[in-house]
Structure 1
């Protein structure tokens, strides 16, 4: 724990130092009873333009396409929407959303750029780097990128799940200093402020502990897909990359200007002191594990205590079906995930060679691509070792 004074000092120091910032705005902020709220969008454009004018690089991750489409064609708010309906509404609403942003930012002399992504764009390493290079080019040109998930084409297995997660991945992708999540709640409280009169606001969070996670189980945004749990997860992803995060009210006037001026609003999350390098961060936070390997005690110790690669001799069970290059969990005998990494052999091949010495791989499979089932450079331990951290 830290004192209020120390928390305020650290918070303001990080706001002052932040030069590359990702701001995420949720549907509950952008959308009113009649669809997109032009006043709120104008406020957001003014605030981001203010930051941009101070020499900072800013990226906006914006929800709102589905909600805007729903309002535009007057679909009953009580109607339950399936995937195809949401995708169609996103196609209708995305053009409305970008038109509103173009007009709002244009009033402050700012150029914007639309970037639509699916999870596959970040899960494939070459496409991940292409997105990174494109965003850096846009920032170099003084443009404000506006990013959203490509809901119209994204299917369940290709989805980020919510724009909180997307924003966190973008933050790590471009090595941003800060992730600001503007939502329809005031911030994180020690309890439910609507039911608990003793609930107090948390202005600075040093580390996301199980106790902190428990505090958000009762809070959910009215329109967004994530709620406070997804925002907390996003803050954790950003913290692992060395960035700080903020969660707070997006509909308040001049919210960003007031934040950077030192006003005590919302909840601020400090970065981790030790951060995982960019490739391992990509493996751990972006990729979706396709299966798992259950390891014996010796293999678990080799990974956790000595930072070794995973050899076939230490594998006792293969769970699921996966191919070469997929992300796969490593579990101990109690079923606990101790790491995740990129696999060198498919599930069918590993079932043949598990428990065997590496020297027998070629005689069993008829070929020998690698002695390791998973190389240490491609393993992220869920109990980090020193070698896994950046210098």
Structure 2
């Protein structure tokens, strides 16, 4: 659902969201934390001062920070002969984490702020109990008046345990602790409706009511050290936060007093409104945290029943099973063209679904020798995308 409003109303709504934001997640990337000499201490000092400003205004703040690998390279003067291997990245991250936290500890101490470190892998959030434990830890740190600094645990992460990037991690943390706002500080000024390098009429996009395919395509107009993929991941992160009822901002992290400017109403960067319809916490976890283990190709009737009538998925509507998955795994639902339109938790394994696809539910016990559920995927565990 798109929020329709005039430019003036949009700017007023934007400022209202800044004024009301009491819990904020701020993500900073390597592009602004480091320079050719290693850690960019001026930027780090500015970020610490700005976050202290938010803390002193009564807000709770989490910092999601990259930079461990870059800090590790500087620490041991490591110059690779080409692209870093995974073991090299993991070793450098283990060296750099202590350096990074030492720099942050000194920077925040100047402003009377205490910090704590949390290193996470994707499995810490994909297992529901661990997900809730992380949330409880963060809320306890808030109670203690401490600023949590979160990074992916690059030292132990392998492909299946990775978030992919810290933009995704920041968005997931925002939704985990029900943050009002996700602020992504990077090396670009924001989105443009054209390429400002070759289009003199290109204008900055200050507010986005809804992340549409057109908005996602605007990532190609932004040139930065991150490349197009970097901006696209930030827009996807904003979309994830919006679905959970939060707002997001993408803007220049090297700008002095950037957070003071934002919260005082300066038009800078690109601001994303929250969705008009908030996705419940558990369904957001299913849709955005879990990594799908397979796909189901559904017939037209099943697609309509799920997307339009809010029904559960029955075996009769399944045409094809793709992948190897077990009971309780996340599985995507696709139409006849293979386009994903829903995702949910599955009640039967891929091997069992292959035996019952296309049949009526009353035949499940006869074909499998047991019947755990009438539905292959219950509507309470299914999210439309």
TM-score of the superposition, structure 1-length normalised?
A: 0.95
**Aligned counterpart for 1:64 among listed residues 63, 67, 75:** 67
For residues 279 and 223 of structure 1, the distance between their equivalents in structure 2, rounded to whole angstroms, comes to 32
1:347-381 alpha-carbon deviations (Å, 9 max, x no partner): 00100111122222222212221111111100001
For structure 1, list consecutive stretches of 5 or more residues without a partner in the other structure.
Answer: 383-391
| Cross-structure match for 2:379 | 376
Q: In structure 2, what is the equivalent of residue 238 of structure 1?
A: 241
Would you say the 8 A contact 2:299–2:319 is kept in 1? yes
Q: Distance in 1 between matches of 2:316 and 2:197?
A: 55
**1:162 touches 1:226 (CA, 8 Å); kept in 2?**
no
8 Å CA contact retained: 1:29, 1:251: yes
Deviation for aligned residue 1:304: 1.5
Counterpart position of 2:15: 12
Q: Tell me what 1:207 maps to.
A: 210
Query: Which residue does 2:346 correspond to in 1?
Result: 343
Secondary structure of the residue that 2:219 maps to in structure 1?
Answer: coil
Which stretch of the first structure deviates more once superposed, 292-301 or 92-101? 292-301
1:101 matched to which residue of 2? 104
What does the per-residue CA deviation read over 1:190-235, in whole Å, with 9 as the maximum and x for residues that have no partner? 1222222221111111111111111112435426995110000000
Report the equivalent of 2:289: 286
Is 1:42 aligned to residue 17 of structure 2? no
Match of 2:128 among 122, 125, 128: 125
Aligned-partner Cα distance in 2 for 1:198–1:224? 22
Higher mean C-alpha deviation, range 359-368 or range 44-53: 359-368
TM-fit CA distance, 1:282: 0.6
Whole-angstrom distance in 2 between the partners of 1:256 and 1:19: 14
Question: Where do 1:232-271 residues align within 5 Å?
Answer: 232-271=235-274
Query: Paired residues, what number?
Result: 382
Are the equivalent residues in 1 in contact too, given 2:216–2:235 (CA < 8 A)? yes
CA gap of 1:220–1:113, structure 2 versus 1, over 3 A, is farther
Secondary structure at the counterpart of residue 105 of structure 1: helix
1:62-101 matches, cutoff 5 A? 62-76=65-79, 79-101=82-104
SS at match of 2:220: coil
Measure, in 2, the Cα distance between the counterparts of 1:114 and 1:246. 24
| RMSD, aligned CA | 1.5
Q: Which has the larger displacement, 220-229 or 30-39?
A: 220-229
Residue 25 of structure 1 corresponds to 28
Give 2:327's aligned residue: 324
For the structure 1 residues 271 and 212, does the alpha-carbon distance in structure 2 shift closer, same or farther, using more than 3 Å as the test?
same
Q: CA deviation at 1:259?
A: 1.0
- Following superposition, the deviation at residue 57 of structure 1 comes to 0.4
Kept in 2, the 8 Å contact 1:330–1:339? The answer is yes
| Structure 2 equivalent of residue 387 of structure 1 | none
Q: Secondary structure at the match of 1:216?
A: helix
> Which residue does the alignment assign to 1:193?
196
The CA deviation string for residues 282-312 of structure 1, in whole angstroms up to 9 with x for no partner, is 1111111111111112211221222111111
- Measured in 2, the distance between the counterparts of 1:278 and 1:89 equals 35
Q: CA deviation at 1:3?
A: 3.6
1:117-157 per-residue CA deviation (whole Å, 9 max, x = no partner) reads 01111111111111111111111111100000000100011
Match of 1:143 in 2: 146
Q: 1:302 aligns with which of 300, 305, 312?
A: 305
Calculate the TM-score normalised by the size of structure 2.
0.96
Give distance in 1, aligned partners of 2:213 and 2:308.
Answer: 24
Matched, 1:161 2:164: yes
Secondary structure of the residue aligned to 1:122 is helix
Question: Shift of residue 169 of structure 1?
Answer: 0.4
State how far apart, in whole Å, the 2-side matches of 1:28 and 1:203 are: 22
SS of the equivalent of 1:316 reads strand
The more displaced of 3-12 and 24-33 is: 3-12
For residues 254-294 of structure 1, what are the alpha-carbon distances to aligned partners after superposition, in whole Å with 9 as ceiling and x for unaligned?
A: 11111111111111111111111111111111111111111
Q: What is the CA distance between 1:239 and its match in structure 2?
A: 0.4
Distance (whole Å) between structure 2 residues aligned to residue 270 and residue 191 of structure 1: 21
**What is the CA–CA distance in structure 2 between the aligned matches of 1:218 and 1:366, rounded to whole Å?**
57
What is residue 183 of structure 1 aligned with on the other side?
186
Distance in 1, Cα, partners of 2:334 & 2:213: 21
Q: Which secondary structure does the structure 2 equivalent of 1:215 belong to? A: helix
